[in-house]
């Protein structure tokens, strides 16, 4: 049976066919759909983990126990999971372990565009890279086999275009584990307990393992040569293989499905058979440098971009510039009549419960250290309330560091509920333990909003939608020893402001939890009631414009005395959150009827 699948869906299918038993992940674009699809297959336990390190440890535990395990994450997630990734490489495991990393060239939704093939080399772990959805499924299955054959984790590297593009996949049947009975957990400390004495003995083992995998790479069926015109030879991998085939239909191609370790002899033989050798790969010159270290003359990033996504147009234009293709192969982009579309800068959604918080923070003029999530958009004018943002869980520790460095202002850290569970908790413990007066605002919208409404330990539901224990934030924070903790409704601007002003006067850590579900949740959408502006009471003071709500527009009508445009609310966008109404000094924005609030 053949079915159209995205790369993420194909990985899920491949894991299921391979007999995976446990899969864990933290949601992150472009990898999120792997677990969201795998959850629908039978005989697999799937879960959202609080962060990527936990996800990898869970998969390792399953593999130690003799069952195939998989962990999935976006590329920066592997930074969080690096410690576990490295020890798993040292120990090996009893059953297959596959770690999926989804790199994001061009940073469509990420803070960097690191190339995680380097992690494979760094960790002495094989790396496989699919070029389409069929290979995404096939290489997932192959990765489990490779893992068990060589007693190693295997890194499956996807990129955004593979994750989210769809192509035909031939489906197979699940191969169940040889035994469904749980194995006794291994009692093998010399292999699984990495105290220095044992780790020293394991290091030569993993070095020999990689030599063995390199020899295997010479016959790995997903490393293959397509010989044609020998005037140009291309070594490529991943989605770049598709672009190479399209732009150079007559060139000879060495396609690598395993990009670490690389097949030394296969590459030497291919290089010797062509007159000019180039590498086409997204992001780092990973293959190019490895081939050059073999003493082979090769070109790559001197022709093709080092940064951003490749596509056929980029590859073709770079090839023309380098003289690989004649100038007449330039393909002009078709003119697209887009019409007078309005500009759409990134902005918090209308009715977002984070908006009032950022309005107050901007008003108080305090330094705000942000985190990764929807609330990063508090950076955008007119809110302009975020002054630093590095990675998930960084906000609280950055604020603490600035305070300890003597920064004279009172620092604030903002972090979401899911991100707080991810890596915010240890940082908050640090503010208590090492005593800094950092004010932490946990913006609890009852869901992992940034990746599309996944469950987390605070929502009360698992990945399967089953009810579970809710980790309550306020008792958790109090249990850490923080005395000043308060939960306020996220739309109550006055109470947020008064609480923060009170906290700023104090010289110890404090936590404000702003609570309101994401306005896009289905159950919240049912409560939307648009507000309206009473034109005869509005004088165009523009105060409501300062919250940056897309639903509030400037009317064509001018105030007769001040000649300023009055406000106008777009009823198709307004959710009725009432933040604008709270700020209006003339009561020109009507509140929703009381009876409607109770619906």
Q: What is the rounded distance in angstroms from the CA atom of residue 594 to the CA atom of residue 599?
A: 9
Q: Which residues are bridge partners to 2 per DSSP?
A: 170
Instruction: Give yes or no for a contact between 147 and 100, defined as CB atoms under 8 angstroms apart.
Output: no
The pair of three-digit structure tokens given for residue 372, joined into one six-digit string: 């990764």
Query: What is the Cα–Cα distance from 134 to 156, expressed in whole angstroms?
Result: 14
Contact predicate 462/49, CB 8 Å: no
Whole-angstrom distance, CA of residue 276 vs CA of residue 253 = 12
Peptide bond into 228 cis (omega under 30): no
CB-based contact 163:35 (threshold 8 Å): no
CA-angle at 219, arms to 169 and 74, nearest 5°: 50
Query: What number of other Cβ atoms are within 10 A of residue 549's Cβ?
Result: 25
Name the pairing type of β-strands 565-569 and 22-25.
Answer: unpaired
Please tell me the predicted confidence (pLDDT) of residue 518: 96
Q: Under 8 Å CB-to-CB from 261, ≥6 apart: which residues?
A: 126, 210, 213, 214, 217
* Residue-by-residue pLDDT tens, the chain, 599 positions: 999 999 999 999 999 999 999 999 999 999 999 999 999 999 999 999 999 999 999 999 999 999 999 999 999 999 999 999 999 999 999 999 999 999 999 898 888 999 999 999 999 999 999 999 999 999 999 999 999 999 999 999 999 999 999 999 999 999 987 766 778 899 999 999 999 999 999 999 999 999 999 999 999 999 999 999 999 999 999 999 999 999 999 999 999 999 999 999 999 999 999 999 999 999 999 999 999 999 999 999 999 999 999 999 999 999 999 999 999 888 887 787 878 777 777 899 999 999 999 999 999 999 999 999 999 999 999 999 999 999 999 999 999 999 999 999 999 999 999 999 999 999 999 999 999 999 999 999 999 998 999 999 999 999 999 999 999 999 999 999 999 999 999 999 999 999 999 999 999 999 999 999 999 999 999 989 999 999 999 999 999 999 999 999 999 999 998 899 999 999 999 999 999 999 999 999 986 555 444 43
Number of Cβ within a 10 Å radius of residue 460 = 15
Q: How many other CB atoms are there within 10 angstroms of residue 221's CB atom?
A: 9
Give me the DSSP letters along 169-232: EE-------S--SPPPPP--HHHH---HHHHHHHHHHHHHHHHHHHHHHTT-TTEEEE--EEEE
The dihedral sign for the CA sequence 25, 31, 37, 42? negative
| pTM of structure | 0.92
Omega of the bond prior to 161 within 30 degrees of 0, cis?
no
What totals of helices (H) and strands (E) does the chain contain, helices first? 23, 21
Reference 549, options 318, 374, 382; nearest CA is: 382
Burial of 389 (0-12, 13-18, 19+ CB in 10 A): buried
User: What pLDDT sits at residue 596?
Assistant: 45
């Amino acid at each position: 049976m053949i079915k159209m699948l995205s790369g993420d869906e194909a990985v899920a299918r491949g894991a299921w066919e391979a007999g995976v038993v446990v899969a864990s992940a933290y949601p992150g674009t472009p990898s999120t759909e792997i677990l969201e699809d795998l959850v629908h297959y039978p005989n697999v336990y799937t879960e959202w983990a609080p962060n990527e390190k936990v996800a990898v440890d869970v998969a390792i535990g399953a593999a130690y126990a003799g069952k195939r395990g998989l962990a999935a994450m976006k590329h920066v997630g592997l930074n969080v999971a690096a410690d576990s990734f490295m020890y798993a490489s040292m120990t090996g495991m009893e059953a297959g372990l596959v770690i999926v990393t989804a790199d994001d060239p061009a940073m469509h939704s990420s803070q960097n565009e690191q190339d995680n093939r380097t992690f494979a080399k760094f960790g002495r772990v094989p790396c496989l890279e699919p070029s389409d959805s069929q290979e995404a499924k096939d290489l997932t299955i192959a990765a489990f086999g490779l893992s068990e054959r060589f007693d190693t984790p295997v890194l499956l590297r996807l990129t955004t275009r593979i994750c989210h593009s769809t192509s035909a996949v031939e489906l197979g049947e699940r191969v169940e584990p040889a035994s469904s009975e749980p194995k006794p957990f291994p009692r093998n400390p010399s292999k699984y307990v990495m105290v220095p004495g044992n780790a020293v003995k394991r290091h030569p083992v993993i070095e020999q393992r990689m030599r063995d995998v390199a020899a295997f790479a010479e016959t790995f069926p997903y490393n293959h040569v397509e010989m044609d015109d020998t005037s140009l030879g291309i070594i490529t991998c991943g989605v770049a293989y598709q672009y190479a085939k399209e732009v150079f239909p007559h060139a000879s191609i060495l396609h690598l499905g395993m990009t670490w370790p690389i097949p030394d002899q296969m590459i030497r033989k291919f290089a010797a058979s062509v007159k000019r050798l180039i590498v086409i790969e997204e992001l780092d010159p990973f293959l190019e440098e490895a081939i050059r270290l073999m003493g082979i003359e090769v070109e790559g990033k001197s022709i093709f971009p080092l940064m951003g996504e490749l596509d056929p147009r980029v590859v073709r234009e770079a090839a023309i510039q380098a003289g690989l293709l004649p100038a007449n192969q330039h393909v002009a982009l078709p003119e697209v009549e887009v019409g007078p579309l309005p500009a759409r800068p990134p902005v918090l959604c209308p009715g977002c419960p984070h908006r009032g918080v950022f309005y107050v923070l901007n008003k108080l003029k305090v330094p705000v250290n942000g985190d990764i999530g929807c609330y990063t958009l508090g950076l955008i004018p007119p809110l302009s309330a975020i002054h630093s943002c590095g990675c998930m869980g960084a906000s609280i520790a950055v604020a603490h560091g600035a305070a300890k460095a003597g920064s004279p202002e009172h620092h604030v850290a903002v972090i979401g509920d899911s991100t707080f569970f991810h890596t915010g908790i240890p940082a908050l413990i640090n503010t208590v333990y090492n005593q800094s007066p950092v004010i932490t605002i946990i913006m609890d919208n009852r869901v992992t909003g940034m990746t599309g409404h996944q469950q987390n330990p605070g929502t009360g539901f698992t990945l399967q939608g089953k009810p579970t224990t809710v980790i309550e934030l306020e008792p958790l924070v109090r249990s850490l020893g923080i005395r000043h903790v308060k939960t306020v409704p996220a739309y109550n601007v006055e109470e947020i402001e008064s609480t923060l002003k009170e906290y700023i006067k104090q010289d110890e850590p404090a936590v404000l939890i702003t609570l309101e579900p994401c306005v896009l949740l289905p159950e919240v959408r049912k409560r939307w009631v648009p507000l309206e502006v009473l034109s005869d009471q509005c004088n165009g003071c523009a105060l409501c414009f300062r919250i940056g709500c897309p639903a509030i527009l400037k009317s064509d009508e001018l105030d007769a005395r001040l000649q300023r445009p009055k406000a106008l609310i777009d009823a198709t966008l307004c959710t009725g959150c009432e933040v604008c109404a709270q700020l209006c000094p003339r009561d020109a924005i009507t509140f929703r009827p009381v009876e409607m609030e109770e619906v």
